[in-house]
Structure 1
């Protein structure tokens, strides 16, 4: 079954579907008020998200994802507090910390 990438104004969805019509049907059922901006069949059966594209690098011993998740846990899910903790832990600027925390929130820390 092909892997599809579907983008709406509010979401990017990755899904397996029999064909383009089936992928459109999933979006229509899940997000009936959202217009499909882009729908493409992925060339492979894999989806990769680049940490570098998110502004997350693996310099040093600690994995930024682990650190971000620890900061989120300490902050009990409070994003702003978690960002401050991450900035303190990693010595990064506000934008780098925000990207790390938000990307880990999306992953379901």
Structure 2
């Protein structure tokens, strides 16, 4: 059974399906309000996410950097985001996600 990668306006779905029509039905059943932007049949039966593409470098522990920024900012989220952007070169959206994720984990 082929593996399909389906990108919608809100999700990226990886699923096995008999054909493209069946893959579309998976999206319709699970996320009826999503619009399919891209549907790709994968060339193999596995799916790999490159850490480099996601901005995760094996040289840098992003959680440690984020917790350090939160400590330096005394828990001030906005200041921690600015520090994280400065220290890692990340954009605002990535820095916000990393800092907020670490705040939830109880830095």
TM-score range, shorter chain: 0.5 to 0.7
How large is the Cα RMSD of the aligned pairs?
A: 3.6
Question: Aligned pair in 2 of structure 1 residues 2, 99: CA closer, same or farther (>3 Å)?
Answer: farther
CA shift for structure 1 position 94: 4.3
Q: Under a length normalisation based on structure 1, what TM-score does the superposition of the two structures give?
A: 0.61
Return 5+ residue gaps in structure 2 as ranges.
71-75
Aligned residues: 92
- After superposition, residues 28-67 of structure 1 pair within 5 angstroms as 28-59=28-59, 63-64=61-62, 67=64
Return 5+ residue gaps in structure 1 as ranges.
75-79
Aligned position for 2:89 = 93
CA shift for structure 1 position 87: 2.9
Q: Distance in 1 between matches of 2:90 and 2:42?
A: 34
Deviations 1:47-89 (A, max 9, x none): 1111111222112xx644x647x95xx9xxxxx84x938939x
Aligned position for 1:77 = none
Q: Under a length normalisation based on structure 2, what TM-score does the superposition of the two structures give?
A: 0.62
Which is worse superposed, 92-101 or 40-49?
A: 92-101
**Greater gyration radius:** 2
> Is contact 1:54–1:100 with CA below 8 Å preserved after alignment?
no
CA shift for structure 1 position 101: 2.5
